[in-house]
Structure 1
Amino acid sequence: MIALIVSATAAAAAIMYLAHNGSDDANWLVVCLQFTNFCQQVTGAVVVSFVATVFLLTLVAISAFSLKRTSD
Protein backbone atom coordinates (compact mmCIF):
# COMPACT_ATOMS: atom_id res chain seq x y z
CA MET A 1 0.00 0.00 0.00
CA ILE A 2 2.87 2.36 0.77
CA ALA A 3 4.38 1.66 -2.65
CA LEU A 4 1.05 2.52 -4.28
CA ILE A 5 0.78 5.80 -2.38
CA VAL A 6 4.41 6.71 -3.11
CA SER A 7 3.96 6.02 -6.82
CA ALA A 8 0.78 8.12 -6.94
CA THR A 9 2.57 10.93 -5.11
CA ALA A 10 5.47 10.75 -7.55
CA ALA A 11 3.10 10.95 -10.51
CA ALA A 12 1.37 13.98 -9.00
CA ALA A 13 4.75 15.58 -8.30
CA ALA A 14 5.75 15.09 -11.94
CA ILE A 15 2.58 16.86 -13.09
CA MET A 16 3.20 19.63 -10.57
CA TYR A 17 6.74 20.06 -11.87
CA LEU A 18 5.45 20.38 -15.42
CA ALA A 19 2.72 22.78 -14.36
CA HIS A 20 5.08 25.10 -12.50
CA ASN A 21 8.04 24.97 -14.89
CA GLY A 22 6.01 24.62 -18.04
CA SER A 23 6.64 22.74 -21.20
CA ASP A 24 6.78 24.48 -24.55
CA ASP A 25 5.34 21.41 -26.28
CA ALA A 26 2.46 20.86 -23.86
CA ASN A 27 1.67 24.56 -23.17
CA TRP A 28 1.32 24.00 -19.39
CA LEU A 29 1.71 27.69 -18.64
CA VAL A 30 -1.41 28.39 -20.70
CA VAL A 31 -3.27 25.68 -18.78
CA CYS A 32 -2.26 27.24 -15.46
CA LEU A 33 -3.46 30.63 -16.61
CA GLN A 34 -6.67 29.44 -18.29
CA PHE A 35 -7.97 27.22 -15.48
CA THR A 36 -7.89 29.29 -12.32
CA ASN A 37 -6.10 27.77 -9.35
CA PHE A 38 -5.13 24.59 -11.25
CA CYS A 39 -1.46 24.82 -10.36
CA GLN A 40 -2.22 25.68 -6.73
CA GLN A 41 -4.62 22.73 -6.44
CA VAL A 42 -2.06 20.33 -7.89
CA THR A 43 0.53 21.66 -5.44
CA GLY A 44 -1.89 21.16 -2.55
CA ALA A 45 -2.66 17.63 -3.70
CA VAL A 46 1.03 16.74 -3.78
CA VAL A 47 1.59 18.15 -0.30
CA VAL A 48 -1.39 16.19 1.06
CA SER A 49 -0.10 13.05 -0.68
CA PHE A 50 3.30 13.42 0.98
CA VAL A 51 1.61 13.92 4.36
CA ALA A 52 -0.53 10.81 3.76
CA THR A 53 2.57 8.81 2.87
CA VAL A 54 4.37 9.84 6.06
CA PHE A 55 1.23 9.20 8.12
CA LEU A 56 0.78 5.70 6.67
CA LEU A 57 4.46 4.90 7.16
CA THR A 58 4.18 6.01 10.79
CA LEU A 59 1.09 3.83 11.30
CA VAL A 60 2.88 0.83 9.81
CA ALA A 61 5.87 1.37 12.11
CA ILE A 62 3.66 1.75 15.19
CA SER A 63 1.74 -1.38 14.23
CA ALA A 64 4.96 -3.36 13.73
CA PHE A 65 6.30 -2.27 17.12
CA SER A 66 2.97 -3.11 18.74
CA LEU A 67 2.89 -6.58 17.18
CA LYS A 68 6.47 -7.23 18.21
CA ARG A 69 5.76 -6.15 21.80
CA THR A 70 2.68 -8.38 22.11
CA SER A 71 4.48 -11.42 20.68
CA ASP A 72 7.28 -11.26 23.30
Structure 2
Amino acid sequence: MSEEQGGPVLDSTLAEWFTAREETTRHLQSATPPVDTAWVQRLADLLATERSWQDQYTELIAVGRRDGRFPPSNR
Protein backbone atom coordinates (compact mmCIF):
# COMPACT_ATOMS: atom_id res chain seq x y z
CA MET A 1 0.00 0.00 0.00
CA SER A 2 1.40 3.42 -0.85
CA GLU A 3 1.25 6.70 1.03
CA GLU A 4 -1.01 8.09 -1.71
CA GLN A 5 -3.60 5.47 -0.73
CA GLY A 6 -3.33 6.52 2.90
CA GLY A 7 -1.71 3.32 4.11
CA PRO A 8 1.61 2.46 5.66
CA VAL A 9 4.71 2.20 3.50
CA LEU A 10 6.35 -1.07 4.43
CA ASP A 11 8.82 -1.84 1.63
CA SER A 12 12.02 -0.82 3.44
CA THR A 13 10.84 -2.27 6.75
CA LEU A 14 9.98 -5.60 5.14
CA ALA A 15 13.32 -5.70 3.33
CA GLU A 16 15.16 -5.20 6.64
CA TRP A 17 13.00 -7.83 8.32
CA PHE A 18 13.71 -10.41 5.60
CA THR A 19 17.43 -9.63 5.75
CA ALA A 20 17.47 -10.08 9.52
CA ARG A 21 15.65 -13.40 9.25
CA GLU A 22 18.11 -14.61 6.59
CA GLU A 23 21.04 -13.58 8.80
CA THR A 24 19.49 -15.44 11.71
CA THR A 25 19.05 -18.58 9.63
CA ARG A 26 22.66 -18.44 8.40
CA HIS A 27 23.94 -17.91 11.91
CA LEU A 28 21.93 -20.79 13.35
CA GLN A 29 23.18 -23.11 10.62
CA SER A 30 26.82 -22.29 11.34
CA ALA A 31 26.81 -21.51 15.08
CA THR A 32 28.11 -23.77 17.78
CA PRO A 33 27.23 -23.26 21.43
CA PRO A 34 27.68 -21.00 23.18
CA VAL A 35 26.20 -18.39 20.86
CA ASP A 36 27.83 -14.99 21.13
CA THR A 37 26.16 -12.26 23.20
CA ALA A 38 25.93 -9.71 20.38
CA TRP A 39 24.02 -12.17 18.20
CA VAL A 40 21.65 -13.08 21.03
CA GLN A 41 20.89 -9.36 21.47
CA ARG A 42 20.21 -8.95 17.74
CA LEU A 43 17.83 -11.92 17.85
CA ALA A 44 16.04 -10.48 20.88
CA ASP A 45 15.65 -7.17 19.05
CA LEU A 46 14.35 -8.94 15.93
CA LEU A 47 11.77 -10.89 17.93
CA ALA A 48 10.60 -7.76 19.75
CA THR A 49 10.24 -5.96 16.42
CA GLU A 50 8.38 -8.90 14.90
CA ARG A 51 5.94 -8.94 17.83
CA SER A 52 5.39 -5.19 17.46
CA TRP A 53 4.64 -5.63 13.73
CA GLN A 54 2.19 -8.42 14.48
CA ASP A 55 0.35 -6.16 16.92
CA GLN A 56 0.26 -3.32 14.38
CA TYR A 57 -0.99 -5.57 11.56
CA THR A 58 -3.67 -6.98 13.85
CA GLU A 59 -4.87 -3.46 14.60
CA LEU A 60 -4.79 -2.45 10.90
CA ILE A 61 -6.79 -5.49 9.81
CA ALA A 62 -9.33 -4.97 12.59
CA VAL A 63 -9.93 -1.37 11.41
CA GLY A 64 -11.50 -2.70 8.21
CA ARG A 65 -13.96 -4.99 9.99
CA ARG A 66 -17.37 -4.02 11.26
CA ASP A 67 -16.83 -5.66 14.63
CA GLY A 68 -13.35 -4.07 15.04
CA ARG A 69 -11.78 -7.44 15.81
CA PHE A 70 -9.09 -9.47 14.10
CA PRO A 71 -10.68 -12.31 12.11
CA PRO A 72 -10.22 -15.87 13.34
CA SER A 73 -7.71 -18.09 11.58
CA ASN A 74 -8.93 -20.55 8.95
CA ARG A 75 -6.20 -23.00 9.96
The correspondence of residues 1-72 of structure 1 with structure 2, limited to 5 A, is 1=8, 3-4=10-11, 5-22=13-30, 36-65=36-65
Could you tell me which runs of 5 or more consecutive residues in structure 2 were left unpaired when the two chains were aligned.
Answer: 1-7, 69-75
TM-score by length of 1: 0.54
- Aligned-residue sequence identity (percent) comes to 5
Higher helix share: 1
Structure 1 stretches lacking a partner, 5+ long = 23-28
- Rounded Cα–Cα distance in structure 2 between residues aligned with 1:13 and 1:61: 24
State the aligned residue count: 57
RMSD: 2.9
Q: CA deviation at 1:2?
A: 6.6
Query: Higher relative contact order by CA 8 Å / sep ≥ 6: 1 or 2?
Result: 1
